[in-house]
Amino acid sequence: MLRRSFTISLLALAAAIPAYGDAISDAMAEVEKYAGEKTVWDGPTAGPAAAEGKKIVVLAADMKNGGVLGVTNGVQEAAAKIGWEVTVLDGAGSVQNRAAAFGQALALGPDGIVINGFDAVEQQAALKQACDAGIPMVAWHAGPVIGPDPDNCLFANVSTDAMEVSAAAAKWAFADAGGKPGVVIFTDSTYAIAIAKADRIKETVEALGGTVLEYVDTPIADTSTRMPTLTTALLQKYGASWTHALAINDIYFDFMGPSLAAAGIAGDGAPKAVAAGDGSESAYQRIRSGQYQTVTVAEPLNLQGWQLVDELNRAVSGVEWSGYTSPLHVVTAANISADGGDRNIFDPGNGYRDEYAKIWGK
């Protein structure tokens, strides 16, 4: 039913604008394949049994970030199942705090470390220390490449396909604007993956014939203070030509709404907010209520937490990484109740918890 209503709305949009109909239909056909429910497990079905009694540390970039929080919750849930002890250290949104947290982690002498939501290059010296100490490390969003990163001593970097996430967000905005979007892109050059995602958004919009009005580099850690005034300034600069705001994750839109409301813009009005990740709880709430966010291209954060534990179990067991790339999900008001959406999370109904438990012998 969700897929049928989604398809009908796309066909109606394409038919309404004949000059752009083919391009719009093609773009939305690409998006639609990510909008359906995820009911089939396509991840690993074999691997090492649970290594017993391990103690691991999660180094969180910033626990105020919905993506980081969701992944941390997944790690804790999976660790409870596999029988491991978890310590979470919050980097609190700054390089200095993350460096201090890394120092604490090394002092604990853990059996493994999870780098959660910050660029590996940022803490390269500390990563080398952990590597030299023989502590295996896995990561979430530590760089633009999925899988092993031997240069940074990472057993595996876990992510959806960030380039597909970015392209899906751009294509949705293109079609929603009737083939003539005026886009402002928000990113953070502190993170290589953020720049790679923003660049792909820009390339996709422009290749389709849309307009990138501005490419804004503003730190994720400062969104609460910067986004309100930045939003007002962009509205004054571009007016009605700004049809869509595209950001590399949802946190940018946590702080745009009041400025848009003050400018007399309705919750479902333009510029429409489209996030290329991560599918935070606040994003789900905004989309459901029609208040200043229309789309998030969500990652299965809880599942990715389970995958991080599984990859770390493979690392300590001396086997190769699983090779798994988790699915992405285009979330709109039309399909928001599916796949965990009733709990404000993209949590695929593909049985991943049972599948990992079977691998671990739990």
Each residue of 112-171: pLDDT tens digit?
999 999 999 899 999 999 999 999 999 999 988 899 999 999 999 999 999 999 999 999
Q: Which two tokens stand for residue 170?
A: 């751009």
- Please provide the size of the chain in residues: 362
Orientation of helix 21-32 relative to helix 2-16, angle to 10°:
160
Record the pTM. 0.86
User: How far is residue 63 CA from its own chain's centroid?
Assistant: 14
Q: Which CATH superfamily is domain 2-33+162-298 in?
A: Response regulator (3.40.50.2300)
Burial class, 343, CB count within 10 angstroms (exposed 0-12 / middle 13-18 / buried 19+):
exposed
CATH topology agreement for domains 2-33+162-298 and 55-160+301-326: yes
Please list the alpha-helical segments (H only) found in 209-324: 223-238, 257-262, 281-289, 301-317
Residue whose structure tokens are 């960030």: 162
The dihedrals phi and psi of 345, each to the nearest 5 degrees, come to -155, 150
Answer yes or no: are the C-beta atoms of 168 and 347 closer than 8 Å: no
pLDDT digits (tens, 9 = 90+) for 196-241: 999 999 999 999 999 999 999 999 989 999 999 999 999 999 999 9
Nearest CA to 271 out of 171, 173, 197, 166 is that of: 173
Domain ranges of the chain: 2-33+162-298, 55-160+301-326
pLDDT in the model for residue 8: 42
Q: Which CATH superfamily is domain 55-160+301-326 in?
A: Response regulator (3.40.50.2300)
